[in-house]
Amino acid sequence: MTASDLQSGLAIKVDSMALRGVVCALPTQVVKNQTLAAQFGEKEVNDVIKMIGVHERRLAPPHQTAADLSQAAADRLLDELGWARDTVDALIFVTQTPDYTLPASACALQARLGLKRSCAAFDVNLGCSGYVYGLWLAGKLLDGRAIKRVLLLAGETPSKITDPSDRSTAMLFGDGGSASAIEFDAGAAPAHFVLGSDGAGERHLMIPSGRYKPYLGDDARLEGRDPTCLFMDGGEIFNFTLSNIPQLVSDTLETAGKTREQVDAFLFHQANTFMLKHIIKKAKLAPERAPINMDRYGNTSCVSIPLLLVDKCPQVQSAPQTVAMFGFGVGYSWSGAVLDLPVLAVNRLIEV
């Protein structure tokens, strides 16, 4: 495993990691943004839909959490793969909406899924970049001895932390959960990652209050807002993304030794359709190789990349594919990966 610094982040090669299957679980409730016209005004709603590209989203009911959705995905994945529960050596849960402040939801999920007590389990508090970070962490854990199988869960319920009266977020985010099965395979093609962060952007996408650092009322952008709900400065996020992600695409491809034509699918975090189209154009990618599905699901944070895989890439179950993945946003944090995927035994979307 080697690592080096690039303009956009730390480049890392991971050997012996094979992705075997992915399942995403969505709530059954579908909310169409057009139904919010009575609240925000028809013109305003149409303008937002045109800009962000979200027509409908899935919202979890009050009793359903990100851990619940991810557990349902994991149960289905393990059953369809035929993995015995006592063969999972580690569980990673990526989320910013855990069940509790403590304990870690991953520990609870270990028991709920019936995994062995010797299974390592921990949460990762990352959002938009979290799925790719999770893949990297899983690859780092695999050693072919103590840890041969890792279950990566990524789940988010942004609906529980958004202010329904905030037009900038109320029509953007959707809920979901996912599970990915990752296994040690000495013959697997190397996976390549580029990871980076810039905490100078922390205040542009955040929940200002509600944990342990008191909000001092020192940000004029938050006047009249509930500081315990999600705040997003869309302009700052847009500028950060266009300034950094095209370079991330180039650096990740260079690290992997791949041309744009050698990649079957470019899977971007589904942040904003207008923004994504700009990134695809600036990165000189063929639009047909960079699918977008946020019109039906919205921005699902760390779930958006696996959701693209199961929703828009059925070919991964019939032939090996080279896939590039790019997460970016809250933190600021960003991540890129290029994986030569074997044929996936499971690639499924379910409702719960």
Set 119, 269, 302, 347: catalytic member: 269
Local mean pLDDT, 10-residue blocks, the chain (352 residues): 73 98 98 95 93 96 98 98 98 98 97 98 98 98 97 98 93 98 98 97 94 90 92 95 96 97 98 96 97 98 98 97 98 98 98 98
Three-state DSSP class for residue 143: coil
pLDDT at 6: 80
pLDDT at 3: 63
Name all domains of the chain by residue range, CATH numbers in brackets. Answer: 3-14+190-351 (3.40.47.10), 17-184 (3.40.47.10)
pTM (two decimals): 0.96
Catalytic-residue membership of 269:
yes
Asked if 338 and 252 count as a contact pair (C-beta separation under 8 A), the reply is yes
Question: What is the rounded CA–CA span in Å between residue 38 and residue 237?
Answer: 28
> How is residue 90 written in tokens?
């580690």
pLDDT at 214: 86
Set 24, 33, 119, 128: catalytic member: 128
Write the DSSP string, 185-226. -TTSPPEEEEEEE-GGGGGGEE--SSSSS---S--GGGTTS-
234-252: pLDDT as tens digits: 999 999 999 999 999 999 9
pLDDT at 1: 41
